[in-house]
Structure 1
Protein backbone atom coordinates (compact mmCIF):
# COMPACT_ATOMS: atom_id res chain seq x y z
CA UNK A 1 0.00 0.00 0.00
CA UNK A 2 1.19 3.50 -0.81
CA UNK A 3 2.52 5.33 2.25
CA UNK A 4 3.38 8.97 1.48
CA UNK A 5 6.38 10.54 3.19
CA UNK A 6 6.13 13.25 5.82
CA UNK A 7 7.09 15.84 3.18
CA UNK A 8 4.29 14.77 0.84
CA UNK A 9 1.79 14.73 3.72
CA UNK A 10 2.91 18.19 4.83
CA UNK A 11 2.50 19.57 1.32
CA UNK A 12 -0.90 17.84 0.98
CA UNK A 13 -2.21 19.23 4.27
CA UNK A 14 -0.99 22.73 3.38
CA UNK A 15 -2.68 22.48 -0.03
CA UNK A 16 -5.90 21.51 1.77
CA UNK A 17 -5.58 24.50 4.09
CA UNK A 18 -5.22 26.83 1.10
CA UNK A 19 -8.03 25.20 -0.91
CA UNK A 20 -10.45 25.10 2.02
CA UNK A 21 -9.66 28.75 2.78
CA UNK A 22 -10.37 29.72 -0.84
CA UNK A 23 -13.51 27.58 -0.83
CA UNK A 24 -14.75 29.43 2.24
CA UNK A 25 -14.10 32.75 0.50
CA UNK A 26 -16.05 31.49 -2.53
CA UNK A 27 -18.99 30.50 -0.32
CA UNK A 28 -18.91 33.90 1.39
CA UNK A 29 -18.99 35.58 -2.03
CA UNK A 30 -21.96 33.39 -2.95
CA UNK A 31 -23.66 34.11 0.38
CA UNK A 32 -23.43 37.84 -0.28
CA UNK A 33 -24.98 37.21 -3.72
CA UNK A 34 -22.05 38.34 -5.85
CA UNK A 35 -22.71 35.11 -7.75
CA UNK A 36 -26.34 34.51 -8.78
CA UNK A 37 -27.77 31.53 -6.91
CA UNK A 38 -28.83 29.89 -10.19
CA UNK A 39 -25.14 29.10 -10.84
CA UNK A 40 -24.61 27.46 -7.45
CA UNK A 41 -25.23 23.90 -6.29
CA UNK A 42 -25.35 22.49 -9.78
CA UNK A 43 -28.06 24.95 -10.83
CA UNK A 44 -30.61 23.18 -8.62
CA UNK A 45 -31.38 25.94 -6.11
CA UNK A 46 -34.87 27.36 -6.41
CA UNK A 47 -34.69 30.44 -4.16
CA UNK A 48 -32.40 32.87 -2.39
CA UNK A 49 -33.53 31.43 0.95
CA UNK A 50 -32.46 27.97 -0.14
CA UNK A 51 -29.11 29.43 -1.22
CA UNK A 52 -28.64 31.02 2.23
CA UNK A 53 -29.25 27.69 3.91
CA UNK A 54 -26.97 25.69 1.61
CA UNK A 55 -24.15 28.25 1.67
CA UNK A 56 -24.32 28.49 5.46
CA UNK A 57 -24.06 24.71 5.71
CA UNK A 58 -21.13 24.83 3.28
CA UNK A 59 -19.33 27.39 5.41
CA UNK A 60 -19.81 25.31 8.56
CA UNK A 61 -18.63 22.13 6.84
CA UNK A 62 -15.63 23.88 5.26
CA UNK A 63 -14.72 25.37 8.63
CA UNK A 64 -14.61 21.81 10.01
CA UNK A 65 -12.49 20.66 7.04
CA UNK A 66 -10.09 23.56 7.57
CA UNK A 67 -9.85 22.78 11.30
CA UNK A 68 -9.18 19.10 10.51
CA UNK A 69 -6.41 20.12 8.10
CA UNK A 70 -4.73 22.22 10.78
CA UNK A 71 -5.08 19.33 13.25
CA UNK A 72 -3.49 16.92 10.79
CA UNK A 73 -0.53 19.26 10.30
CA UNK A 74 -0.05 19.59 14.07
CA UNK A 75 -0.15 15.82 14.61
CA UNK A 76 2.21 15.27 11.67
CA UNK A 77 4.69 17.71 13.21
CA UNK A 78 4.54 15.70 16.46
CA UNK A 79 5.39 12.53 14.52
CA UNK A 80 2.17 10.58 15.00
CA UNK A 81 -1.13 10.96 13.19
CA UNK A 82 -3.87 9.21 15.21
CA UNK A 83 -6.51 6.95 13.70
CA UNK A 84 -9.40 9.35 14.35
CA UNK A 85 -7.92 12.14 12.20
CA UNK A 86 -7.09 9.67 9.42
CA UNK A 87 -10.71 8.45 9.53
CA UNK A 88 -11.87 12.07 9.28
CA UNK A 89 -9.85 12.45 6.08
CA UNK A 90 -11.20 9.17 4.71
CA UNK A 91 -14.71 10.54 5.33
CA UNK A 92 -13.84 13.91 3.76
CA UNK A 93 -12.32 12.09 0.77
CA UNK A 94 -15.53 10.11 0.29
CA UNK A 95 -17.58 13.32 0.50
CA UNK A 96 -15.45 14.95 -2.20
CA UNK A 97 -15.54 11.83 -4.37
CA UNK A 98 -19.36 11.88 -4.21
CA UNK A 99 -19.30 15.63 -4.86
CA UNK A 100 -17.14 15.07 -7.94
CA UNK A 101 -19.72 12.65 -9.31
CA UNK A 102 -22.46 15.17 -8.53
CA UNK A 103 -20.54 17.92 -10.31
CA UNK A 104 -20.28 15.77 -13.42
CA UNK A 105 -24.08 15.67 -13.67
CA UNK A 106 -24.63 19.31 -12.72
CA UNK A 107 -27.16 21.35 -14.69
CA UNK A 108 -24.71 24.22 -15.17
CA UNK A 109 -21.56 23.91 -17.28
CA UNK A 110 -19.77 26.26 -14.89
CA UNK A 111 -20.17 23.79 -12.04
CA UNK A 112 -19.10 20.87 -14.20
CA UNK A 113 -16.04 22.59 -15.65
CA UNK A 114 -14.78 24.41 -12.56
CA UNK A 115 -15.89 22.42 -9.54
CA UNK A 116 -15.31 18.89 -10.86
CA UNK A 117 -11.50 19.15 -11.06
CA UNK A 118 -11.31 20.92 -7.69
CA UNK A 119 -13.36 18.28 -5.87
CA UNK A 120 -11.48 15.46 -7.61
CA UNK A 121 -8.13 16.90 -6.47
CA UNK A 122 -9.48 17.45 -2.94
CA UNK A 123 -10.65 13.85 -2.81
CA UNK A 124 -7.28 12.53 -3.94
CA UNK A 125 -5.36 14.68 -1.48
CA UNK A 126 -7.63 13.64 1.39
CA UNK A 127 -7.16 9.96 0.57
CA UNK A 128 -3.38 10.47 0.52
CA UNK A 129 -3.55 11.47 4.20
CA UNK A 130 -5.34 8.30 5.29
CA UNK A 131 -2.52 5.69 5.41
CA UNK A 132 -0.90 5.21 8.81
CA UNK A 133 2.03 7.50 9.55
CA UNK A 134 4.42 7.27 12.46
CA UNK A 135 7.76 9.01 12.57
Structure 2
Protein backbone atom coordinates (compact mmCIF):
# COMPACT_ATOMS: atom_id res chain seq x y z
CA UNK A 1 0.00 0.00 0.00
CA UNK A 2 2.93 2.32 0.66
CA UNK A 3 3.87 2.34 -3.01
CA UNK A 4 0.31 2.87 -4.27
CA UNK A 5 -0.64 5.67 -1.89
CA UNK A 6 1.72 8.23 -0.42
CA UNK A 7 1.33 9.40 3.15
CA UNK A 8 1.04 12.98 1.88
CA UNK A 9 -1.91 12.14 -0.37
CA UNK A 10 -3.54 10.20 2.47
CA UNK A 11 -3.05 13.06 4.95
CA UNK A 12 -4.27 15.80 2.65
CA UNK A 13 -7.18 13.64 1.52
CA UNK A 14 -8.22 12.98 5.10
CA UNK A 15 -7.92 16.62 6.13
CA UNK A 16 -10.06 17.67 3.17
CA UNK A 17 -12.71 14.95 3.52
CA UNK A 18 -13.02 15.28 7.30
CA UNK A 19 -13.35 19.07 6.99
CA UNK A 20 -16.10 18.65 4.41
CA UNK A 21 -17.84 16.10 6.64
CA UNK A 22 -17.85 18.58 9.54
CA UNK A 23 -19.35 21.19 7.20
CA UNK A 24 -21.95 18.66 6.01
CA UNK A 25 -23.01 17.91 9.60
CA UNK A 26 -23.21 21.63 10.40
CA UNK A 27 -25.53 22.03 7.42
CA UNK A 28 -27.71 19.26 8.83
CA UNK A 29 -27.88 20.94 12.25
CA UNK A 30 -28.84 24.25 10.65
CA UNK A 31 -31.56 22.56 8.59
CA UNK A 32 -30.03 23.30 5.19
CA UNK A 33 -29.80 19.54 4.62
CA UNK A 34 -32.67 17.41 5.98
CA UNK A 35 -31.63 14.98 8.70
CA UNK A 36 -33.60 12.19 7.02
CA UNK A 37 -30.66 11.63 4.66
CA UNK A 38 -28.18 10.63 7.41
CA UNK A 39 -27.79 7.98 10.07
CA UNK A 40 -29.25 5.36 7.80
CA UNK A 41 -32.54 7.26 7.61
CA UNK A 42 -33.31 6.13 11.17
CA UNK A 43 -33.52 9.46 13.06
CA UNK A 44 -37.01 10.24 14.34
CA UNK A 45 -36.83 13.67 15.95
CA UNK A 46 -35.00 16.98 15.91
CA UNK A 47 -33.61 16.40 19.42
CA UNK A 48 -32.31 12.96 18.43
CA UNK A 49 -30.67 14.52 15.37
CA UNK A 50 -28.98 17.19 17.51
CA UNK A 51 -27.49 14.55 19.83
CA UNK A 52 -26.21 12.39 16.96
CA UNK A 53 -24.89 15.32 14.95
CA UNK A 54 -23.13 16.88 17.95
CA UNK A 55 -21.34 13.60 18.67
CA UNK A 56 -20.48 13.23 14.98
CA UNK A 57 -19.02 16.73 14.72
CA UNK A 58 -17.01 16.24 17.91
CA UNK A 59 -15.64 12.91 16.73
CA UNK A 60 -14.74 14.31 13.30
CA UNK A 61 -12.96 17.29 14.89
CA UNK A 62 -11.01 14.89 17.10
CA UNK A 63 -10.02 12.84 14.06
CA UNK A 64 -9.00 16.03 12.25
CA UNK A 65 -6.74 16.86 15.20
CA UNK A 66 -5.20 13.36 15.15
CA UNK A 67 -4.44 13.61 11.43
CA UNK A 68 -3.13 17.17 11.75
CA UNK A 69 -0.85 16.04 14.59
CA UNK A 70 0.26 12.95 12.67
CA UNK A 71 1.47 15.05 9.75
CA UNK A 72 2.97 17.83 11.85
CA UNK A 73 0.37 20.53 11.23
CA UNK A 74 -0.64 20.55 14.89
CA UNK A 75 2.26 20.99 17.27
CA UNK A 76 1.38 18.99 20.36
CA UNK A 77 3.43 16.55 22.34
CA UNK A 78 1.66 13.25 21.98
CA UNK A 79 3.01 9.78 22.56
CA UNK A 80 3.93 8.15 19.24
CA UNK A 81 2.28 4.88 20.21
CA UNK A 82 -0.94 6.73 21.04
CA UNK A 83 -0.95 8.32 17.59
CA UNK A 84 -0.48 5.01 15.85
CA UNK A 85 -3.24 3.34 17.89
CA UNK A 86 -5.58 6.30 17.24
CA UNK A 87 -5.04 6.01 13.48
CA UNK A 88 -5.68 2.25 13.50
CA UNK A 89 -8.84 2.81 15.56
CA UNK A 90 -9.94 5.41 13.02
CA UNK A 91 -9.40 2.86 10.24
CA UNK A 92 -11.59 0.34 12.10
CA UNK A 93 -14.26 2.98 12.73
CA UNK A 94 -14.33 3.94 9.05
CA UNK A 95 -14.55 0.27 8.01
CA UNK A 96 -17.49 -0.24 10.37
CA UNK A 97 -19.07 2.94 9.03
CA UNK A 98 -18.60 1.66 5.48
CA UNK A 99 -20.56 -1.47 6.37
CA UNK A 100 -23.26 0.66 8.00
CA UNK A 101 -23.49 2.88 4.92
CA UNK A 102 -23.96 -0.17 2.72
CA UNK A 103 -27.02 -1.07 4.83
CA UNK A 104 -28.45 2.47 4.92
CA UNK A 105 -31.99 3.19 3.78
CA UNK A 106 -30.93 6.29 1.83
CA UNK A 107 -29.21 6.22 -1.54
CA UNK A 108 -27.02 9.18 -0.58
CA UNK A 109 -25.34 7.17 2.14
CA UNK A 110 -25.01 4.04 0.01
CA UNK A 111 -23.71 5.77 -3.12
CA UNK A 112 -21.71 8.72 -1.73
CA UNK A 113 -20.67 7.95 1.82
CA UNK A 114 -19.81 4.27 1.35
CA UNK A 115 -16.88 5.02 -0.97
CA UNK A 116 -15.86 8.03 1.15
CA UNK A 117 -15.65 6.03 4.38
CA UNK A 118 -13.80 3.24 2.59
CA UNK A 119 -11.32 5.80 1.28
CA UNK A 120 -10.93 7.27 4.78
CA UNK A 121 -10.27 3.76 6.13
CA UNK A 122 -7.50 3.27 3.53
CA UNK A 123 -6.04 6.71 4.26
CA UNK A 124 -6.07 5.97 8.01
CA UNK A 125 -4.27 2.65 7.45
CA UNK A 126 -1.64 4.39 5.34
CA UNK A 127 -1.02 7.07 7.96
CA UNK A 128 -0.89 4.47 10.74
CA UNK A 129 1.81 2.57 8.81
CA UNK A 130 3.74 5.81 8.28
CA UNK A 131 3.41 6.82 11.92
CA UNK A 132 5.98 4.23 13.02
CA UNK A 133 8.65 5.95 10.97
CA UNK A 134 7.83 9.60 11.54
CA UNK A 135 6.33 9.83 15.01
CA UNK A 136 7.99 12.21 17.41
CA UNK A 137 8.14 10.79 20.94
CA UNK A 138 6.17 12.63 23.62
CA UNK A 139 9.41 13.55 25.39
CA UNK A 140 10.90 15.30 22.36
TM-score where L is the length of structure 1: 0.87
- In the alignment, which residue of structure 1 is the partner of 2:21? 23
Q: Does 1:85 align with 2:83?
A: yes
Distance in 1 separating the partners of 2:35 and 2:28: 7
Query: Which of 110, 113, 126 is the aligned partner of 1:112?
Result: 110
Distance in 2 separating the partners of 1:51 and 1:105: 19
Q: Work out whether residues 37 and 45 of structure 1, in 8 Å CA contact, stay in contact via their aligned partners in 2.
A: yes
Distance in 2 separating the partners of 1:10 and 1:87: 19
Q: Work out whether residues 37 and 47 of structure 1, in 8 Å CA contact, stay in contact via their aligned partners in 2.
A: no
| Superposition map of 1:39-50 within 5 A | 39-50=37-48
Which moves more between the two structures, 58-67 or 31-40?
31-40
Once the 2 structures are TM-superposed, how far is the Cα of residue 134 of structure 1 from its aligned partner? 4.3
Query: Which of 121, 124, 127 is the aligned partner of 2:125?
Result: 127
Runs of 4+ residues deviating >4 angstroms: none
Aligned pair count? 127
DSSP 3-state at the match of 1:29: helix
Which runs of 5 or more structure 2 residues have no equivalent in the other structure? 74-78, 136-140
TM-score where L is the length of structure 2: 0.84
Once the 2 structures are TM-superposed, how far is the Cα of residue 128 of structure 1 from its aligned partner? 1.0
How big is each residue's C-alpha offset from its partner over 1:27-74, in whole Å with a ceiling of 9 and x where there is no partner?
100110111111111101011111111111011001101101110011
RMSD of equivalent CA atoms: 2.0
